[in-house]
C-alpha cells in the first residue's frame, strides 16, 4: 500500500492528500508530528534528508519528496483526472500559480520559519503575526491579479476543473484563515477556494479530517 508520511496541518502534505483523493488512489497515512519534532528523527531523515514532510512511499518502494514533484508524478502515472492542462501555455500558467504559493508564500510562513523568528530572533507573538500576514498579503495580491485575468480562470484557478494550482491555493487559504488574515480584498481567491471545498476530494484532505488532527 502507498503510504503518505505527513502532518495534518502541513500545507505540503495537504496538497498531496488532495491529489491522491482526486485520483481516487488508496493510501495509508503515517503521521509525523512537526510540533513534537518528529521530522528531525532518524526514521524521517532516512526518508527525507531535509527533515520535512511529506514523503510518499509507493507500493513498489519508490520514495518521493517535495509536494509539487509528488503531485506531478501522480499526474504522470495516473493521468485522469488531469492536474495540468493539455496545452503548453495552460501548463505554464498553472505551474506559475502553483509556484507563487508553494515557492514564494509558503516557505516564508511555514512552521520552522515561524519558530526561528520566535526562538532565535526573539520576535514576540505580535511580530510573528505581522510577518505572517505581510507575506500572505504580498502573495495574495499578486495571485488575485493573476486569477482575475480573463484568459484561463473559471470555477477554479484554471478552467472549470481543479488543477495543481488549486491544490496549492486551498491549503494556503486554510492557513491564512488560521492566522486570521483579512482576505476580504481577494474575492476571486475566496470564490475558488469555496468551489474547491465543495468537492469531496478536498473535504477528505482537510486538516481536521486527518487521523492525527486530534
**Mean pLDDT, residues 131-157 taken together:** 92
Other Cβ atoms closer than 10 A to 123: 16
3-class secondary structure, 65: strand
Residue 14 has pLDDT above 70, yes or no: yes
Chain segment 160-209, per-residue pLDDT in tens: 999 999 999 999 999 999 999 999 999 999 999 999 999 999 999 999 99
* pTM (2 d.p.): 0.97
pLDDT of 214 strictly over 80:
no
Please tell me whether residue 30 adopts helix, strand or coil conformation: strand
Asked whether the predicted pLDDT for residue 31 surpasses 70, the reply is yes
Q: What is the pLDDT of residues 147-171, one digit of tens each?
A: 998 666 799 999 999 999 999 999 9
The full length of the chain comes to 214
Q: How far is CA 134 from CA 33, 76, 103, 161, in A?
A: 27, 36, 16, 30
Amino acid at each position: 500500500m502507498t503510504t503518505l508520511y505527513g502532518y495534518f496541518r502541513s500545507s505540503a502534505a495537504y496538497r498531496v492528500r488532495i491529489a491522491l483523493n482526486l485520483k481516487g488512489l488508496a493510501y495509508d497515512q503515517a503521521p509525523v508530528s512537526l510540533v513534537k519534532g518528529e521530522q528531525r528523527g532518524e526514521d524521517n531523515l532516512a526518508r527525507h534528508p531535509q527533515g520535512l514532510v511529506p514523503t510518499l512511499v509507493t507500493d513498489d518502494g519508490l520514495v518521493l519528496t517535495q509536494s509539487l514533484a509528488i503531485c506531478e508524478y501522480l499526474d504522470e502515472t495516473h493521468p485522469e483526472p488531469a492536474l495540468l492542462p493539455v496545452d503548453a501555455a495552460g501548463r505554464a500558467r498553472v505551474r506559475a500559480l502553483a509556484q507563487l504559493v508553494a515557492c514564494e508564500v509558503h516557505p516564508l510562513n511555514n512552521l520552522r520559519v515561524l519558530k526561528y523568528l520566535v526562538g532565535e530572533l526573539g520576535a514576540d507573538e505580535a511580530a510573528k503575526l505581522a510577518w505572517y500576514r505581510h507575506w500572505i498579503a504580498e502573495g495574495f495580491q499578486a495571485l488575485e491579479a493573476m486569477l482575475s485575468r480573463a484568459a484561463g480562470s473559471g470555477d477554479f484557478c484554471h478552467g472549470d476543473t481543479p488543477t495543481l494550482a488549486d491544490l496549492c491555493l486551498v491549503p494556503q487559504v486554510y492557513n491564512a484563515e488560521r492566522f486570521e488574515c483579512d482576505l476580504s480584498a481577494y474575492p476571486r481567491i475566496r470564490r475558488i477556494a469555496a468551489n474547491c471545498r465543495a468537492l469531496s476530494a478536498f473535504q477528505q484532505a482537510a486538516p481536521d479530517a486527518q487521523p492525527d488532527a486530534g
